[in-house]
Structure 1
Amino acid sequence: MPDTEVRDRVSAHGYRVLLGQIRSRRIYEACRGVWPHISPTFDELETLRASADERHALASQTLIAVLEQRVQPWDTWDAGKGAALETWFVGALHLQFPTVFERWRKARLRRLDEHEACAAVIAAKGAPADPALGAVTRDELERALRTAEPEVRSVLALVAAGYRHDEIADHLRLSERAVEGRIYRFRRSMRNPVRGTGKKSTP
């Protein structure tokens, strides 16, 4: 096993490489060999592009995950097979990154501001699918979201983050039909609200 100085040097090198790959977005391609379905949303990519703190947090958590394994990369490294220890360690980071990314993704979703989520549902990807939503003001959106059921708000937050309906269903352990139903209920409340309450008016 390499001595402490070598392990520290290799760990620092791996951290720098991983951080650079997160910044350049090459990390997702590097990980597809071990986790083919890793696919960040545009919103997640923008968050990582704009925030050095988020990039460092993701890289740090991945490094910690590797170093907390019972079997360390230097325990399985074989110099006779040709790969440098630094390369071997980066490979170990790639193996852990998808799991750490998924935890980061879920934690980020919990932090999403619900009002901003509502606005993003309306504004995302050009014109809204339901024209009735395009005519409401931000204040009306916020009032409607405050009175929406919690299960509706959780779906809206995921929609705002760029998730497809099937992905939302998977995250929330729902059927796609249930997800679509919750979005429909919110759209219906926006089409026919009682001003200031977000509740549906009576005929």
Structure 2
Amino acid sequence: MGSSDSASAAERLRLDGVLVQHFRESGLAGPRWNQFHRQLLGRGLTIVTKLVRSGAMFSRCGQQGRYLHRQEISPQEAEELASDAVYDGYVYFRDRGLLGREWSVGHGLPLEEYFVNACVLAFPNVYRRWQTHAHGWHDVRLVDSVASLEHVVTEATPEDAVIEQAAANAAFATLSEDGKRLLFLHDQGYSHAEIGELMRLTPRAVEGRIRRARLAVRRRPEEER
């Protein structure tokens, strides 16, 4: 970055700092705030929609340590996901960045970039909600949970694979709702600690219940043979 670019970035941060100070003093109210946040949402939606459509959003999430399995997303669904991510990101930006004083000039990140980052952080939960709504518990592929399905697919016939998958789905259907939820969340990349927070369990209890649920799914097809 040249000296002119550095000076421009510094000036941008200074102006952002002046704006934020004004917004905090006004309690995020008034015509200036209304104009700013409308422009921010509009600009953010454009950027986030492009990130989702191009697949770059998944790379950005991976850089944040939140790895997601990318599925095919229609243009309309991409717009809906982007809209939800912008809304959730805005709540983070407003409550933590501005009112919570997480953002500052010393942070070194312009407001718009900070806002887009907030949308990226919000995207994994938005994406998982979309997966749950779009596919439901019974349509989720349970990685490492179906009984020897990979072995059947690679070494047996397609018909055997279909039968094995049906048996695994039937076994999954017999699990308790908690068991289904545990396997689903684990398959979607949630850590034991994150699942524990969602279900009010200790990470150790989560680990044990996931192990028992997997065993139940594996044993059912074997018992019916």
Where 1:37 maps in the other structure, the secondary structure is coil
Q: Quick one: structure 1 residues 136 and 152, their matched pair in 2 at CA, closer, same or farther if it must change by over 3 Å?
A: farther
2:126 corresponds to 1:104: yes
Gap change, CA 1:179 and 1:61, over 3 Å in 2: same
- 1:9 match: 39
SS across alignment from 2:149: coil
Q: Partners of 1:177 and 1:26 in 2: how far apart?
A: 36
* 1:180 is the counterpart of 2:195: no
Tell me which residue corresponds to 1:128.
Answer: 149
Paired residue for 2:71, among 17, 26, 46?
46
Structure 2: 5+ residue runs without aligned partners? 1-18, 23-31, 154-159, 197-202
Moved more, 174-183 or 133-142: 133-142
Amino acid of the structure 2 residue aligned with 1:121: L
Within-5 A mapping of 1:64-103 = 64-69=91-96, 71=98, 88-95=111-118, 97-98=120-121, 100-103=122-125
Please point out which of 1, 19, 24 is paired with 2:49: 19
RMSD of the alignment, in Å? 4.2
Cα 1:148/1:169, change in 2 over 3 Å: same
Contact 2:183 2:210 in 1 (8 A): no
The answer (yes or no) to whether the contact 2:44–2:115 under 8 Å persists in 1 is no
Question: Aligned ranges for residues 184-199 of structure 1 at < 5 Å?
Answer: 184-193=215-224
User: How far apart, CA to CA, are the structure 2 residues paired with 1:54 and 1:31?
Assistant: 14
Pick closer, same or farther for the CA change 1:28–1:94 going to 2, 3 Å. farther
Unaligned runs of 5+ in 1: 195-203
Contact 1:115 1:142 in 2 (8 A): yes
Q: CA separation in 2, counterparts of 1:102 and 1:140?
A: 31
Return closer, same or farther for 1:7/1:32 CA change in 2, 3 Å cut-off. same
AA partner of residue 101 (structure 1): F
Say whether the 8 Å CA contact 2:89–2:118 is kept in structure 1.
no
TM-superposition CA deviations, 1:18-58 (whole Å, max 9, x none): 2212222323544667xx31211x2xx21555623223222
Q: How many residues were matched structurally? A: 174
Residue 136 of structure 1 aligns to a residue whose secondary structure is helix
Percent of residue pairs bearing the same amino acid type: 9
